[in-house]
Amino acid sequence: PDWSPDGTKIAFADGSALYVMDADGTNKNAVLSLPKTLPEGKLAKPTAVAWSPDGGSIAFIGLIEDESYRSTGGYYSQGVYILDLASRNLKLVTKGVIYYAREYIQRYKEFSWSPDGSKIVLYLGAETKDYKAGVYTLDLATGGLTFLLDTSKTQWHPSGNWVAYPGSILRI
């Protein structure tokens, strides 16, 4: 789930729908019901969600049934979608990272919008043939992914108070 920028609403994915409700849990409304057949395939399920900074759109990770992946053991690809709440227009921003239902590895995991609304930062949880695991930015105008950080080389400090990763450390 994710809070709206003004804190009055919550967006969340539940089963085969994307919902928005008031912050107190009332007025639950499905803003997108699935499955929905789109040019890229059958959009089967939304997962993680994030409000745009202006509150007018919701980005989500959608699982797309894709027969072309069946030969490799996959059942779904994943896409990052943006739903305009006023018009209910749905835009696919990027697609192509395989989601293997049999192995249950979710590739795109966590994400959030940039303050100006032009990019999304996301975590790719497992290496693919085209991308290594790590943190990326997704340009919403072009759909291009830019690698930022390799998260595979994290190390705990012996004290247990710090985690180091290439280029920085985090206090825990």
Tokens 């695991």, residue?
133
> For residues 37 and 43, what is the distance between their CA atoms, to the nearest angstrom?
6
pLDDT for 165: 62
Each of the 172 residues of the chain gets a pLDDT tens digit; together they read 899 999 999 999 988 899 999 999 999 999 999 878 777 777 778 888 999 999 999 998 887 776 665 555 556 677 888 999 999 999 988 865 544 444 434 455 567 888 899 998 887 766 666 677 777 788 999 988 888 877 666 666 677 666 666 555 555 4
SS3 label, residue 107: coil
Contact at 8 Å (CB) between 136 and 109? no
> For residues 133 and 126, what is the distance between their CA atoms, to the nearest angstrom?
5
How much is the pTM? 0.77
Find the DSSP H helices in 23-171.
none
Contact at 8 Å (CB) between 82 and 119? no
